[in-house]
């Protein structure tokens, strides 16, 4: 990957709806479809309930910006000639993976999962 390709990826990511994104269960009774949300009344996507695991699908979609941030930070570091993965980039990657898996105890968040 070249620096220009990385810049193009970051530009596309910056054009997306700002986060944080979260996976939430809809419906007045909390039994409706899952949504990816960027805040109250800011639904970005509704997850089809006919998939194998709509909750996991919603969590993975909600973690996408964090995963991309971590990966672009790692790639930027590599492209600058630094082959070591520093503690901050490692923390970003670990937190993003944990968010995608729904394990908030490893993300550094004190909030309970919204699902």
**Confidence check: pLDDT of 4 > 80:** yes
Query: In the prediction, which pLDDT does 115 show?
Result: 45
Query: How far is Cα of residue 20 from the mean position of the Cα atoms in its chain?
Result: 8
Say whether 104 sits in a helix, a strand or coil. helix
What is the value of pTM for the model shown?
Answer: 0.74
The model's pLDDT over 7-36, given as tens digits with 9 standing for 90+, comes to 888 898 889 999 899 999 988 888 889 999
Residue with tokens 């990816």, as numbered in its chain:
36
Q: Which one is predicted more confidently, 45 or 40?
A: 45
Distance CA 43, CA 54 (A): 16
Distance CA 6, CA 67 (A): 14
Query: In the prediction, which pLDDT does 17 show?
Result: 92
Structure tokens at 57: 């699908």
Query: In the prediction, which pLDDT does 105 show?
Result: 53
Question: Could you give phi then psi for residue 26, rounded to 5 degrees?
Answer: -90, -175
Structure tokens at 52: 């194998």
pLDDT-derived band at 112, boundaries 50, 70, 90: very low
- Highest-pLDDT range among 5-9, 33-37, 39-43, 85-89: 33-37
């Amino acid at each position: 990957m070249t620096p220009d390709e990385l810049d193009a990826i970051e530009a596309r990511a910056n054009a997306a709806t700002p986060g944080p994104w979260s996976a939430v269960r809809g419906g007045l009774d909390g039994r409706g479809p899952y949504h990816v949300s960027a805040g109250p009344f800011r639904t970005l996507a509704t997850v089809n309930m006919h998939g194998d695991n709509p909750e996991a699908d919603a969590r993975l979609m909600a973690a996408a910006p964090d995963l991309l941030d971590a990966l672009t930070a790692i790639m930027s570091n590599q492209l600058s000639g630094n082959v070591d993965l520093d503690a901050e980039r490692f923390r970003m990657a670990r937190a993003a993976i944990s968010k995608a898996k729904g394990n908030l105890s490893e993300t550094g968040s004190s909030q309970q999962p919204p699902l």
